[in-house]
Amino acid sequence: MSDVGTEGTGGATRADPESEGARIAESERGADSSGPEVESAEASDAFEALGNEVRMSVLRTLVGDSGEGDELVSGRTMTFSELFEASPADTTAGFAYHLRQLTDLFLEAEDDEYALTYAGLQVARAISAGTYTDRVSFGPVATGDPCPLCESGELAAVCEANYVTVACEDCERAVLTLPFPPSARRDRDPERLLDAFDRHHRHRLSVMSDGVCPECAATMDAVLAAPPESVTEQLPETGGDRAQVRLDCRQCGCRLRAPVTLAVLEHPAVVSLFHDHALNVRDRPIWNVGEEWRETVVSDDPWCVRVSAELDDEVLDLFVTGDLSVAGTRRRDVEEIRQAS
């Protein structure tokens, strides 16, 4: 567990028990006839169908470069003969058998042409990206940023088996640990790799905070909660209560724990403040967004956290409620605050 961000899989934590009860009651009444139709297959059958190199080659071929004039998002459409020629199969009879094992779940067939289904596209892309086969390790790579915990050491990034940890070289405390797709390192030097890591997770955090899972697009529960002791004991003493963001997918188990500040970086008021001071908030990496940020727990029943950013002579306050919505903002001059106090 880290104090800035951790991500993994696990059971979802729902924010509102009454909403859960309403959902169960609706389920017991029966599905809405106007809702989407869902067809499901056994996962074991799906993976069994992929257990052959000839079949895997079909998926790789269909997701490959489509060439000029073919702009299908789902990859190319090819005939039986074209797929056979591109495969390692010895006979057309044997190849036809393999195609039948893929059809419906991973391939759709019309006349003599074959194309990838949604599931086929996802598997083919994961294969090409090395998601199931590549384990990347690198580092340490200096970030060039100071440690926000001890304020004296420098942060460095280390990747082990597709998980990146950014930690202080002096106090040795981890600021974050997050997964990173193995294909990211194929055409990037270390500096560009860290930039891609930052952009990748800023986007994911933004989508999660909006209630959409970046892995499966199911509903993401977003709540404020008190961080566990394993996190707070790593943080500098502030004399006040602390809060963290808890993001949990209801469907696939994707989850994230992070400071409240990271959930408001893309808020229009924040972007505007930084722009007015000739700064771009996106230039601040997620492992150290800057010393101008402060978090104050206003209330824990119900939750309300004031996230503040001070730039030059101005302070912006954002009041974040228990479901991560921003209930209000306040922008004032530093001198005005001093006079009021």
Helices (H), the chain: 17-29, 43-49, 53-63, 80-85, 92-102, 118-129, 190-209, 229-232, 268-276, 334-340
Calpha distance 221→212 (Å, rounded): 9
pLDDT tens digits, 132-142: 899 989 889 99
Name residue 158's amino acid. V
Q: What three-state secondary structure class fits 282?
A: helix
pLDDT of residue 42: 75
Of 60-74, 90-104, 223-237, the least confident = 60-74
pLDDT band at 14 (very low <50, low <70, confident <90, very high): very low
Model confidence over 42-55: pLDDT tens digits?
Answer: 777 778 888 889 99
Contact (CB, 8 A) for 106 and 120 = yes
The pLDDT value recorded for residue 235 is 76
Exposed, middle or buried: residue 297 (CB in 10 Å: 0-12, 13-18, 19+)?
Answer: middle
What single-letter DSSP state applies at residue 50?
T
**Helix/strand/coil for 234:** coil
Domains of the chain, CATH where assigned: 40-129 (1.10.10.10)
- Whether residue 4 is predicted with pLDDT greater than 70 in this model: the reply is no
Q: What is the pLDDT of residue 38?
A: 62
pLDDT reading at 321 higher than 90? yes
Please choose, from the candidates 307, 308, 311, the residue with its C-alpha nearest in 3D space to the C-alpha of residue 276. 311
Q: What is the pLDDT of residue 9?
A: 41
pLDDT digits (tens, 9 = 90+) for 264-307: 999 999 999 999 999 999 999 999 999 999 999 999 999 999 99
Which burial class, exposed, middle or buried, applies to 11 when counting CB atoms under 10 A from its CB (0-12, 13-18, 19+)? Answer: exposed
- pTM value > 0.85: no
